[in-house]
Amino acid sequence: MDITLPLLILVIPLFMFLLLGLCGMKMSHRLAGTLGTLGMGTVLVLSYITALTYFYSGAPEFITQAGERLQYTVFNVTWLQFTDSLVIRLGFLLDPISAMMLIVIPTISFMVHLYSLGYMRDHHGVYEHGFQRFYAFLSLFSFSMLGLVVATNIFQMYIFWELVGASSYLLIGFYYKKPSAVSASKKAFIVTRFADLGFLIGILILSFYTGTFNFADLTSAPVDGIANVSQVSLTTAEGIKAMFTNSPAPMFMGASVMTWALVLIFMGGMGKSAMMPLHIWLPDAMEGPTPVSALIHAATMVVAGVYLVARLFPLYLMETAALDIIVVVGALTAFYAAMVACTQIDIKRVLAFSTISQIAFMMVSLGVARPEFHHGLGYMAGMFHLFTHAMFKALLFLCAGALIHAIGSNDYTAMHGLRKYMPITHITFLIGCLAIAGIIPFAGFFSKDEILTACFGHSIVWYIWMSLVAGLTAFYMFRLYYLIFWWKEHKVHDPHHAPHDQPWTMTLPLVILAAISCVAGFVPFGFLVTWNGKPMFEGHASFFTNLEHLDWSVAGISLAVAIIAILIATAMYKKENPLPEKMRNALPRLWDWCYHRFYWDELYQFITHKIIFGCICKPIAWFDRHIIDGAMDGLAYVTNKASVAIKGFQSGKIQMYVWFYLAGALLLGAITVICLI
């Protein structure tokens, strides 16, 4: 494969970032926005070509005769050479999941670029302050995210991992004059950085024992006869495990070192993907502009943790203890976030918690994936859900952005009954809700069904648990939907100031994403993305593959759960009625806990302020201020006093200087004479 296309995919967003970042303020707003959008559009086309070439060209470096998909390293240049063995490379790896991400990221990113052209202006068409900066940061983010997914080695991934963290920080704090946005950006950065500490330690452990950063050396074996091509191989992963078990200290604190390494790496993923207990930054990150929430905090960056686990999946298979931890963390997070989402008032918060819950679904799905069960169905399902979720969650966020833009508030209490005034937003939002609730034939149905099937194959407990969460998902999404678009009717006094659909730059992405959400479920993922590249089913892929291979016993149940949940939501929220109030009064304690997000933030506040700041930092600060600074101050004090005392010698009287100089010289001379003679 030609190197130009993949290189351009990375270079164009970087160039756009530099161009808009350095010269943006010299440009008009319209030019900057158009340039950014055009750049992203080019990237969109190029990555579609690259990904489709990978999936469908059938070239020998992409797929074997037997239909197994291969990993192809397009380029891999040495970036830093520390020693012979410690080399950091930058490269471009094409394999099923990176090719899939090459579809997802530019699609969402382009939609958001287009959408922001309308969103980042007020109703009179005046552009927001820092419009060019916004597009520069969007380009930076796109560059970093693309660099992350095509990484050929775990260190490159880490570099871009931090870059997406930085661009997320910049974009959350885009309204830097708003104190809440500033503290949210700091919170996001600090929490994810803390998680990345674990990631870095994990990387170091892994590379210390294995002596490599390359994914190709960690999880796959080279294919004979074709350069730069490798195939996912459990034998390699077993070799890696053997390196750990044969090392001098294979155990640490009751678990194997490899488990530790993998869990620590997963900790980085927990931070980025907002798993409990490191989820606290994501709801606050909604302080950023809504398109940013759609791009970064719903569709792309937050799934980086899932992507990371998927990337190292053969290693995780070697240590199922780590996978079990992933399942537990994911399942708890999914339930927790779904519970909280049922009570929030701010529509972006609801979507944020929904995102946390859905990412947890993907995590659980990866955690329950085993090669023995349906060729690793969970892996495929997780990736499938990542794909569909990106589409419909971006859609939901962009709808929310359109609503916020029209109403000027984040609370659904200010919305109610908007369906007549914003029909396009209404329909697309409904499609998004149906998709996330898992109603056939929308995208979420298929992917969620695969996840539940995978859970079912792993353990009945997790299956029931996750089905419950899926029901909750349908409930809170439709609660939100009804509270925005139905509930009580708006009384509009002046038809000119009624809320209305937004300009085409904002509605077009909604329509496109809604269309994708309708059909994305039919993408034959079983043939495209599997953990070892082998297709899951016999025969040929077609539009109805997913329907044909549906396990109707599981699908029927999940469909029934979703419909029941939707019906409950309809009964409670379609028209203004006292039912929600009654329910709230019936379970006041539970409602309170959910509304306050189970007091996680307060807990963090308590731990950081009372325990860490109060009990650890204060004594250290006292020590620093009084002992260390005191010693320095003492030195300075003595020096100062001494210099004041002796500065009288510096009288400016040359003859005194000479006298002292000669007297000293004479003294030395006298000593010399006396001693030598």
Positions touching another protein (CB under 8 A) are 647, 650-655, 658-659, 662-663, 666, 669-670, 673, 677
* Residue 641 Cβ vs another protein, minimum distance, rounded to whole Å: 16
Shortest distance, position 656 Cβ to another protein, whole Å:
9
- Cα 378 to Cα 304: distance, rounded to the nearest angstrom: 17
Of 607 and 658, nearer to another protein (C-beta) is 658
Looking at the Cβ atoms of 408 and 669, the one nearer to another protein is: 669
C-beta of 132: minimal distance to another protein in Å? 54
Helix or strand run (H / E) with residue 298: none
**Judged by CB, which is closer to another protein: 637, or 657?**
657
3-state secondary structure 155-172: HHHHHHHHHHHHHHHHHH
Where would I find the H helices in 81-224?
96-119, 131-149, 154-172, 179-210, 215-218
CB of 647 to another protein, least distance (A): 6
Smallest distance from another protein to CB 644, Å: 11
State the minimum distance, in angstroms, from the CB of residue 638 to another protein: 19
Select 493 or 653, whichever has its Cβ closest to another protein.
Answer: 653
CB-wise, 638 or 658, nearer to another protein?
658
The 3-state DSSP class for residue 80 equals strand
**Radius of gyration (Cα) for the chain, nearest Å?**
30
Question: Which lies closer to another protein via its Cβ, residue 492 or residue 666?
Answer: 666
Q: How far is CA 427 from CA 430, 505, 668, in A?
A: 5, 17, 101
In the chain, what is the greatest distance between 2 CA atoms, to the nearest angstrom? 117
Q: Kindly tell me which of 177 and 653 has the beta carbon lying closer to another protein.
A: 653
Q: Is 576 left (phi over 0), alpha (psi -120 to 50) or beta?
A: beta
The single-letter code of the amino acid at 203 is I
- Burial classification of residue 658, based on how many CB atoms lie within 10 Å of its CB (0-12 exposed, 13-18 middle, 19 or more buried): exposed
CA 407 to chain centroid, in Å, comes to: 28
Q: Least CB distance from residue 645 to another protein, whole Å?
A: 13
**Sign of the torsion formed by the C-alpha atoms of 632, 635, 640 and 641:** positive
Q: How far is the CB of 632 from another protein (least distance, A)?
A: 24
In the complex with another protein, the residue whose CB is nearer, 635 or 662, is: 662
Query: CA 397 to CA 389: how far, in whole Å?
Result: 12
Contacts of 73 (CB under 8 A, 6+ apart): 91, 92, 93, 94, 152, 216, 228, 229, 230
Q: Measured from the CB atom, is 589 or 647 closer to another protein?
A: 647
Half-sphere exposure of 629 (CA within 13 A, CB side): 7
List Cβ neighbours of 46 (8 Å cut-off, separation of 6 or more).
5, 8, 9, 12
Write down the least CB distance from residue 140 to another protein, Å: 54
**Nearer to another protein among residue 423 and residue 669 (C-beta):** 669
Residues in the chain: 677
- Minimum distance between the CB of residue 640 and another protein, rounded to whole angstroms? 14
Alpha carbons within 13 A on the beta-carbon side of 125: 2
Which residue in 372, 391, 517, 534 sits closest to 454, CA to CA? 372
User: Cβ closer to another protein: 83 or 655?
Assistant: 655
CA dihedral 38, 41, 47, 48 (to 10 degrees): -150
- For another protein, which is the closer residue by CB, 564 or 663? 663
Q: Minimum CB separation from another protein for residue 672, in Å?
A: 8
Q: Least Å distance between CB 281 and another protein?
A: 56
